[in-house]
Chains A and B, each alone.
Chain A
Amino acid sequence: MNEASVVGNVIEGLVARGFAVLLVNDGSHDETARVAADAGATVISHYVNVGQGASLETGFEAIRRGQFSRPLVATFDADGQHSINSLEQMIEAFNADPDLEIVLGSRFLRDASQVPLAKRVLLQLAALIGRFTIGIRLTDRNNGMRLIKSTALSKLSITVPGYGHADEILRQISKRHIRYREVPVEIIYTEYSKAKGQQLINAVCILFDQLLNKS
């Protein structure tokens, strides 16, 4: 939402590497939709802001309905904190193991020094708790970078509109025995992304949403 100043570069970078981009514009008040379309993305716009989980589900549903079809689907942030090199490494993981259905990004499988200390502690604590509450072993429970086989999208259904969707996806992976693997990814903490949504206080919202949407 409201990423007009950065989304153009992100999409141009992806398009230059041969990726097709579907952007879900979650009720932005600025020029995000126009900038994204000009940069080469297919744009779906929510009239009002409904949350990250709802936006992902809109994108997934467009793919399920065949409005936008590709064999692999990546979830990639518009604020420039996800790395295209990491995305390509995730694709390599899929090529190495064709039985995989979803590849999850992790900041903690290699050097995690770029992650702020307080955030590192919180995320690793969340991952530890997730082993018991969700039932799967992960090193990074709140990483937004995922690569999903489009045929596996029928096994996923995001009902939590807000931050809690990350746990909902993991819970469905566990419950529906979706084949997954974690792959190290780089998260680029720019001043922009830190100011926008990477503040530690966001963790409070995420934790609250995850508790509330536990069912």
Chain B
Amino acid sequence: MTVFHLLLLAALFSSYFLARNYGRVVGKSYARLLFLLSVAGFIFSIVAPGPTSRLARAIGAHGTTDLVASLTFIALLVFCAATLVKFKQQERVYVKLVRELALRQTIVDHESPK
């Protein structure tokens, strides 16, 4: 297990917990930060392939491609999870609204015995 693998695992676990709390500012910021980081890593690897390659080897990734692909994968995963959580939150609000509207309509109880 290299530093790179440990970093990967840490990123995955923290992403999972933050995505579950996407409603909080820290969760939203983390998702955006990861996305920006993957974009920056991608651009940096094109602009400066040498240093990126050295950094990748230093932390145990096989090369630039592995490093950038992993970053992109994690960022996408966080965004998918965050979107799902966000969808679920909005669905809850929407359902609550539909239910409340229905309950506020006048209903007539037919007064049956049971």
Interface residues of A (CB under 8 A from B): 15, 18-21, 24, 40-48, 50-51, 54, 57-58, 61-62, 65, 67-68, 70, 72, 159, 161, 215
Contact = CB atoms under 8 A, between A and B. Distances in A.
A208 B95 CA distance: 19
B114 A67 contact: no
B2 interface: no
Given A19-B114, A20-B113, A45 B105 contact: yes
Contacts of B91: 161
Contacts of A48: 98
Interface string B85-99: 000000110110011
B102 A45 contact: yes
B99 A20 contact: no
Interface residues of B, number: 19
B102 A70 contact: no
28 contacts: A18-B112, A18-B113, A20-B109, A20-B113, A20-B114, A21-B110, A21-B112, A24-B102, A42-B109, A44-B103, A45-B102, A45-B105, A46-B98, A46-B101, A48-B98, A50-B95, A50-B98, A50-B99, A51-B95, A54-B98, A57-B99, A58-B99, A61-B103, A65-B103, A67-B109, A72-B114, A159-B92, A161-B95
Nearest to A159: B92
B1 interface: no
Q: Main SS of chain A's interface residues?
A: loop
B25 interface: no
Nearest to B106: A67
Contacts of A41: 110
Contacts of B113: 18, 20
Contacts of A215: 20
B114 A70 contact: yes
B47 interface: no
A116 to B, nearest CB: 31
B109 A46 contact: no
Contacts of A42: 107-110
Contact of B112 (A19, A24, A43, A67): A19
Contacts of B114: 18-20, 70, 72
Contacts of A18: 112-114
A181 to B, nearest CB: 20
Contact of A43 (B20, B95, B107, B111): B107
B60 to A, nearest CB: 34
Interface in B56-114: 91-92, 94-95, 98-99, 101-103, 105, 107-114
